[in-house]
Structure 1
Amino acid sequence: MDKDKQIIHLMAAQDFSGLEFLIDEYSSNLYKTVYSILSYPEERAYVEDGMNEILYEIWQKITRYDETKSSFQTWMLMIARNRSIDWKRKLVRERTVTDENVTIPTDSELLEKENFLALVDHLSDIDQEIFLYYYFYQFSAKEIAEMLAVSVEIIFNRLSRGRKTLRELEEKKDGKL
């Protein structure tokens, strides 16, 4: 029996050794996922609590895992990603101070729309990449600029133009244009 099946079997049987194996095998990947989304210093305090909640959610939902839909690791990382994005949204709503050099997504409804990925498909390849990094994976503009070897200003300009393009597409689709 491979390690994933063994972990699933033990956890489904409510055997805590399965949870221990999961932590040994996957905690670093789960941690990296949470840490990359809760990327601002004031959000870092939630990472540890978040990890505990994610592990508990995996424990609770283990019987719902379907190997025909995704790998075990992907399934767990999606739980971690979704939970982290929920916390990020909550923290952004609670934030009262905004810095004009930091864009706190006022257009977060773009992420919440079911057709976000379909809309992003209308952007150029580089803009798609920037949008996915920024809105989907929650990287900062500085991190994206470093990855793409461009300036932060270019990232903000492309995000601004992309949001405008997507807004126009949405308005056109809704019959407002």
Structure 2
Amino acid sequence: MLEEELITKLRSQDEGALTALITQYGDYVLQVIWHQLPSSYERSYTSDIANRCYYQIWSKIGSFDETRGNLKTWLGAIVKHQAIDYQRGLSATFSQLDLTGVVIATPPPDEPLELGQLLNVLSEKERAIFQLYFDKDLTPEEIAHRLHMRRGAVYKQLSRARKKLKQEADKNDF
């Protein structure tokens, strides 16, 4: 569907146009959301944020002005601001949580967890990728860019690292 036709149908509240919008721009909407939300915890709310974005687009399409820019740029601005607002809401929720009665389970002192020993089975490259992915919460794309690798190589290294760690954990009854 052409952009002008899509805008016209959205303005007339045609539900088929909303489906076409999601089909044409759904990947773009997800990219903008993920760009704004760096952690995997925040990204777990992607579908909720996307739904809010589509509602905003649906209800504010009348304010879109073709003379000031194209639809994709306008969509990007709405999505960016929705993601930021949602992120602020999550931050506010956590700042108000009362954690005084929460007990965090720890391993008994007579059974120390030897994580360092467990990670020693990994090669230096596997360990670096594993730590960037799980400790720093980077995406495989970000890791590939940082380490000058292909994204597929990062996935393979993570898979190998998981396999080695599982074998080591099974062998040592971790």
Aligned counterparts of 1:18 and 1:88: Cα–Cα separation in 2: 28
After superposition, where does 1:138-177 map in structure 2 within 5 Å? 149=146
Alpha-carbon offset, residue 53 of structure 1: 0.9
* Pair 1:47-2:34 in alignment: no
Q: Give 2:11's aligned residue.
A: 12
Alpha-carbon separation, structure 1, partners of 2:137 and 2:88 = 17
Q: Does residue 93 of the first structure (1) align with residue 92 of the second (2)?
A: yes
1:121 maps to: none
TM-score calculated relative to the size of structure 1: 0.53
- Which residue matches 1:168? none
Tell me what 2:65 maps to. 66
Report the equivalent of 2:75.
Answer: 76
What amino acid is the match of 2:25?
Answer: Y
Counterparts in 2 of 1:142 and 1:14: CA distance versus 1, 3 Å = closer
What stretches of structure 2 of length at least 5 have no aligned partner? Answer: 98-135, 148-174
1:70 offset after TM fit, Å? 1.4
Letter matched to residue 60 of structure 2: K
**For residue 86 of structure 1, what is the amino acid of its counterpart?**
D
- Worse-superposed segment, 37-46 or 16-25: 37-46
Tell me, in whole angstroms, the C-alpha distance in 2 between the residues paired with 1:45 and 1:81: 16
Q: Verify the 8 A CA contact 2:40 2:137 in the aligned structure 1.
A: no
* 3-state DSSP of counterpart to 2:45: helix
Relative to structure 1, the CA distance from residue 147 to residue 75 in structure 2 (aligned partners, 3 Å threshold; closer, same or farther) is farther
Alpha-carbon distance in 2 for matches of 1:147, 1:68: 39
Give 1:32's aligned residue: 31
Query: How far apart are 1:57 and its partner, in Å?
Result: 0.6
Per-residue Cα deviation, 1:66-118 (whole angstroms, up to 9, x for no partner): 01111100000100001101111221233359xxxxxxxxxxxxxxxxxxxxx
Structure possessing the higher radius of gyration over alpha carbons: 2
What TM-score results when the alignment is normalised by the length of structure 2? 0.53
| Alpha-carbon distance between aligned partners in 2 of 1:28 and 1:142, rounded to the nearest angstrom | 20
User: What's the CA shift for 1:45?
Assistant: 2.7
Q: Deviations over 1:26-84 (max 9, x none)?
A: 01000111122222122123210111110011010111100111110000010000110
1:84/1:95 Cα in 2 relative to 1: closer, same or farther (>3 Å)?
same
Matched letter for residue 72 of structure 2:
Q
CA distance in 2, matches of 1:148, 1:81: 23
Structure 1: any 5+ residue segments left out of the alignment?
Answer: 98-139, 151-177
Q: Give the distance between the partners of 1:141 and 1:49, measured in 2 at CA.
A: 21
> What is the RMSD of the two structures over their aligned residues, measured on CA atoms?
2.7
Counterpart Cα distance in 2 of 1:27 and 1:69: 22
